[in-house]
Chain A
Amino acid sequence: MNATVAMILALAVGTYAFRLVGPALHGRVELPARVQELLAAAAVVLLVALLATGALTEGGGFAGWARPAGVLVGGVLAWRRAPFPVVVLGAAGVTAVLRAAGLA
């Protein structure tokens, strides 16, 4: 078996195993309310960390100003309860315009 095939298989099987943790435990183990609460909080903590690192960093360094500026505009729109498409297109649009204007 070629090494690339082995890499793809290992990554696929491992990833699927992580994804099965929830469905496999569900109904078998009765998680205490406190643990369920913490799991819901953990999911939000992970998502916020993803969006913060995704907005500000690229390959371990700063992502440049255009991207965080776009995300910030998206955040302000979301805070003002703008519809979802406006938030997403607003963020992408601001970043695209800043890049076109020469800001990295």
Chain B
Amino acid sequence: MMAPLVRDSALVWLASGVVGLSFGAISVAGGLPVWVPVVMSLVVYAGSAQFSAVGVLLAGGGPLAAAATGLLLNTRTAAFSLAVSDVLGGRGRLARLLGAHLVTDETVAFTLAQPDPVRRRAAFWVNGLGLFAAWNTGVLVGALAGTALGDTATYGLDAAFPAVLVALVLPTLRTDARVRRCALLGAAVALAVTPAVPAGVPVLLALAGLVRYGRKEASA
């Protein structure tokens, strides 16, 4: 059970490590001290929110705007933590408190893609702990290396993350017509409002797609 989990997770870890490198490098190149990206990655541990918060800081937006932008982006983790709460529960308080910190887009997608509860639990911890290690190592190395690294867009990494999510949600979309209807409407809403609203809001507005979920198993 572990080998395929590790094999599939390894790519996500590698890609996250490289994105972490670029986060560390961008922060330091923009004039922030090395400890800022490093500490932030350990205690916030949310890639898109970290990029946005540092982006706002470096653009001169101030710490308050930076924190607000990051928090808005991370509101979705509340819904994700609910979706994996069965995996996090039942293992004692410490495991729950630690596990909560590991709730990220990639780890939740990995967990939900598993067919049964035992595998879901294993996937959450294997993917989550490895991702935490890879992300923070990447950020530390990137912050120390600074601008010595090139532009990571050259390697097409920005396409790897949406592709990871496609691979993980496709089995559900293929078999569940109700979820597919909701997801397509939600994605359309998110794309339509993206130019007009602050970062983080489009994905939240996508939840409006749930109006197409319907009452009963009528058309599943």
Contacts and interface: CB of A to CB of B under 8 A. Distances in A.
Contact of A70 (B79, B88, B159, B164): B159
Contacts of B203: 46, 49-50, 53
Chain A CB within 10 Å, residue with most, of B88, B96, B156: B156
**Secondary structure of the B contact surface, majority rule:** helix
A22 interface: yes
A2 B165 CA distance: 38
Interface in A54-104: 54-58, 60-61, 63, 66-67, 70-71, 74-75, 78-79, 84-85, 87-97, 99-100
A41 B161 CA distance: 21
Interface string B1-39: 000000110011001000000000000000010001001
Contacts of B62: 3
Contacts of B100: 16, 19-20, 22-23
**Secondary structure of the A contact surface, majority rule:** helix
B182 A11 contact: no
Given A16-B100, A61-B195, 7 more contacts: A6-B67, A18-B81, A19-B103, A51-B187, A54-B165, A91-B159, A91-B162
Interface of A: 3-4, 6-12, 14-16, 18-23, 25-27, 38-58, 60-61, 63, 66-67, 70-71, 74-75, 78-79, 84-85, 87-97, 99-100
Interface of B: 7-8, 11-12, 15, 32, 36, 39-40, 43-46, 49, 53, 57, 62-64, 66-67, 70-71, 74-86, 88-90, 96-97, 99-101, 103, 105, 108-109, 112, 153-170, 172-173, 178-179, 182-184, 186-187, 189-191, 194-195, 199, 202-203, 206-207, 209-210, 213
